Every structure is written in structure tokens, then in C-alpha cells.
Structure 1
Amino acid sequence: MKIRFSILAILVFLVGFSYAEAQQFRALVFSKTTGFRHQSVPVGVVAVQNLGRSHVFAVHTTEDASYFTDENLEKFDVIILLSTTGTIFNEEQKAAFQRFVQSGKGVVGVHAATDTEYEWPWYNQMMGAYFLAHPRQQTLRLEVVDSDHPATWHLPKNWLWTDELYEFRNINPNIKVLINADESTYSPAKPMGEKHPMAWYHEFDGGRVFYTALGHVESAYEDPDFLKHLYGGIWYAATGEPFK
């Protein structure tokens, strides 16, 4: 009986080990909010979990900021800030997050991730901008200005989209813009002009960062083009592909 139990335990261990080894990378989805709470957050979390199953990467989700320790974060390759809002970290958690990025890991910001940590300059530069305003939800033309990134490989140059359309302040001049909003096709709240980024990436403080302003509406997380856009950004941030 003991022998059978030992063999079973070994098999369970080997299966678990093989599963862990089979994952491309490990993602932490963090969706804590202390400001506005988007209705799309639960749908977005499920969408990333589904992407993990479809694209063979591990997903852990939490809204507990105390999880941000060196010991916990070293398990992951990318942190996905899914419509976080407000002040979500204390000083120790901020330091752990910075060390994570500085170790060469990745960060993905989705929608309200720019509506987060307004008193933390490092975060502003890392994420690439701060939220300024948005008009009512509208349809617009998104212009794909860089098709050489996995987040935009699949997209047409002119992408018709409906969402809550962010305008920004404190934009890091070093971000590399992937998608612009064509303000001539909708009514902005605080116009930014011809240079109105809606998705970007950059290398920052040793790590890789991807941000998309899309994803306010719940239907976005059922849209194949948006999901490919999101996964392309996650893949880039987690692995550096194809820009190593």
C-alpha cells in the first residue's frame, strides 16, 4: 500500500512538474482599485485566464497588494495591471515592484492602469502617461502607426473601434506609439491633436512595458482583434519577443 502511494505521489509530482515546465511564461494579474471600479474588471480577468489556457502561459490573479514582495514576484515574468485605479501600493510594495522591473521583467497596463499612482513619478514614467479625461463612449478610427509589434501585427491600418477613449497628460517622450486616435472621427473631451496615443510600448529601467488604453467596455474582452492585441502585448512584455 505504501509503495503504491509513493508511486502515485511521484506521478502527481512529475505531472505537476511537466505542466509547470510546459508554460511559456508566468503572469500575475493585479486588479486592485481604490478609485473608480470598472465593470469590465471581472470579465477582463477571465479573458486573461482564457488567454493563458489558449496560449500556454500560467496566470495568477490577486487584488491583494501585500502579495507584492520580492519572494512572490520573482515567480513571474510579467505583471498585468488590469484597470487598476488610485493609490494601490505602499512604499515596501512599490520598492518590490521596482526591483521586479529592474530585474528585466515585464509590465502590461490595461485601460485604467494610467489612472493609478498619481503621486509616484517612477510609475508615471514606467507606465508612460497619466489619465487626463475622456468623453462619452464613441466609435472612432484608430490608426495603427506601427505594425511591426506583436500587439499590432494582425490589425488593419484603419481600425474601427468603440470604447471609452482616454486622453493623457505627463506622457513619457520615450514611449514608442503603436496606435493613435484619429480625433477627426469623434468628439474628444480635451483634444490632444494629431499625436494622441492609445497604445504603446517601451523599455524602461531594465524591463519592458506595454500599455493599451482600450478595454473599458466589457464587449472588448470578447473581441478577437482586441484579445490578439492584448496577448501580443503580454507576450512582448513577458518574453521580449521579437525584439531581443
Structure 2
Amino acid sequence: MEDRMKRLVLAALALAGAADALADSQFKLLVLAMPGKYHYEYIPIARDSLEKLGKLHSFDVTYTHRPEAFDGDLREYAAVMFLNTPGEELNPAQRAKFEAYMKGGGNAIVVHRAAITPPDAWLWYEKLVGRRVGVHPMLQTGVITIADKGFPATFGLPERWIWSDEFYVTTNPYNVTIQPVLNVDESSYDPTKIWPGQVARGMGRDHPVAWYHRVEQGRVFVTTLGHNGEMYRDPQYLGHLMGGIYWAATGMGQSGR
């Protein structure tokens, strides 16, 4: 009888602990991170950092390299992150599910390589990103400037932030309106420095490297920063990413609006 009571008490405590853990979680984030030809070393580092952010800020992270995650019910997630993994990796049924998720009020975060997708391969996803990525110069050190001081993805950054990355050159073939969050100062690096046989040109004064906008009924945050694994250990970059996650998942945090 005494053993039975002990088991009941332990079971009740376990249930209480599970309920507390569930209650403490603010939201769920789905992260799709598939290894590619140029991006793979970041995966374990980014997973560790995002899971630590989840513990610190009380949200759950489902981190996967399998696009089959999109076969399930996406409505349980406050936001979906494409981490160096473009939407072209989804099959037609999974693409339709993601579109339905956004139309139902879902939210998205697009990071670095995920912004690059073959032109006209999935028009809807290109419009979700908001810009078409053309060439990108070699990874260089440059100066990032803040375009929107009231957006959470800028709160931990200095006015002029020395950062090394591939500063993507983008175009806007579908006339999508975006709200720039960060720009790169093209006078701080060589926007023409690229591999033999390719040609790169700068974008001039307005060269956004992070932005946000609304698609369907949802929020979309895009950062083209985040090329290599070590960046996912950098506190300022992780603060930038966390600000985008926070806004996309909750719609909160903007100031001056």
C-alpha cells in the first residue's frame, strides 16, 4: 500500500511538472535546417544556440532537417523558420500546407540562404521573402547600419555594427513593399569582389540586409545575415535573430509605432 502511494505521489508530481513546463512555454517555433552544399557546419551550432534561446525566453523549438515536418498541422507553431533552407525543398503538398498556414495567420522567419530560390520556381515563396537574390560578393567585413530603430531585431546592435558576411544583392521584380531593418554601407566593403567569371555590382545607398513585412494574414521577418557557423555563437547576431523571432511569433516589441 505504501509503495502504491509513493507511485501515485511521484506520478502526480511528474504531471504537475509537465503542466508547469507546458504553461511556461510562450509559443512553439518550427525550424527547418537542411544540410546543403555550402551550408552544413552551422546546423549543430545553430540548434544548440536556438534551443538555449528557447530555454532563456520560454519558448519551444522543434528543430528538424526533414521537410516531412510540413506534412503535419503547422497551426501549433507560432512561427516557422527557414534556416539556410529555401522553400524549394518542400514538395507541392507541403508548399500548399505552408501557404494555408500563412493564410490562416501563421508567421515566418527566413534566414540567409533561405532567401535564395530559383526564379519563378515558387512565385508565392519569392513574394514571401520580398526580394529576389541575385549574386552575392565574397564574404567580407563591412558596416551594418540600422534602418528601423523601433524594430526588436535592432535593439541590441550599435548604430554602426562591424560584421562579416555575404552581403546579398537583391531586386524587387514583384514590387513587394518591405520595411528595411538593417542596411549595409557599401563604402565599407567592395561590392564588386566576386568569383572569376561572375560580375557583381552594388545596390547603392539603399541596400537592405534585413527586413520585415506582412504576407497573407501573417508576419514575415527576413535576415540575409548568418553565413557561417561561428555567427550562431555571436551574442549580437543571436540578439538580432531573437528580435526577429520575438516579433514574428508574437507581433509584439515594436516601439515608435
Residue 38 of structure 1 deviates from its aligned partner by: 4.0
1:87: how far off? 2.4
State TM-score, norm by structure 2: 0.87
TM-aligned CA deviation for residue 5 of structure 1: 2.7
Partner of 1:110: 111
Provide the rounded CA distance (Å) in 1 between the counterparts of 2:210 and 2:96. Answer: 26
Q: Name structure 1 gaps, 5 residues minimum.
A: none
Pairing 1:45–2:47 present: yes
Percent identical among aligned pairs is 35
Q: Say yes or no: does 1:90 pair with 2:91.
A: yes
Please show how residues 230-241 of structure 1 align to structure 2 within 5 Å.
230-241=241-252
Amino acid at match of 1:49: E
Matched, 1:69 2:80: no
Show CA shifts across 1:40-88 (max 9, x none). 23322221111111111111111111111352x1221111111014721
Higher Rg: 2
Task: Give RMSD over aligned pairs.
Answer: 2.0
Residue pair 2:87, 2:114 contacting (<8 A) in 1 also: no
State the distance in 2 between where 1:228 and 1:241 align: 16
* Residue 179 of structure 1 pairs with residue 190 of structure 2: no
Tell me how far apart the structure 1 counterparts of residues 35 and 103 of structure 2 sit (CA, whole Å). Answer: 25
2:178·2:213 contact (CA, 8 Å) conserved in 1? yes
Tell me, in whole angstroms, the C-alpha distance in 2 between the residues paired with 1:138 and 1:117: 24
> Structure 2 matches for 1:119-198, cutoff 5 A?
119-170=121-172, 173-188=176-191, 189-198=200-209
TM-score by length of 1: 0.92
Change (3 A) 1:3 1:116: farther
Contact 1:43 1:221 in 2 (8 A): yes
Contact 1:84 1:113 in 2 (8 A): yes
Q: How far, CA to CA, are the matches of 2:79 and 2:135 in structure 1?
A: 28
**In 1: Cα distance, 2:84 partner to 2:139 partner:** 17
Are the aligned partners of 1:117 and 1:123 in contact in 2 as well (CA < 8 Å)?
no
Q: Distance in 1 between matches of 2:72 and 2:87?
A: 23
2:180 aligned partner, one-letter code: V
Query: 1:178 touches 1:200 (CA, 8 Å); kept in 2?
Result: yes
Question: What per-residue deviation string (whole Å, max 9, x for no partner) do you get for residues 168-205 of structure 1?
Answer: 23465311001111111111133111221100011110
Q: C-alpha offsets along residues 195-229 of structure 1, whole Å, 9 cap, x if unaligned?
A: 21100011110001111111102221122111111
Partner-residue secondary structure (3-state), 1:68: helix
AA of the residue aligned to 2:82:
L
- Letter paired with 1:132: G
Instruction: State the alpha-carbon separation in 2 of the partners of residues 93 and 208 from structure 1.
Output: 19
Q: How far off is 1:148 after superposition?
A: 0.2
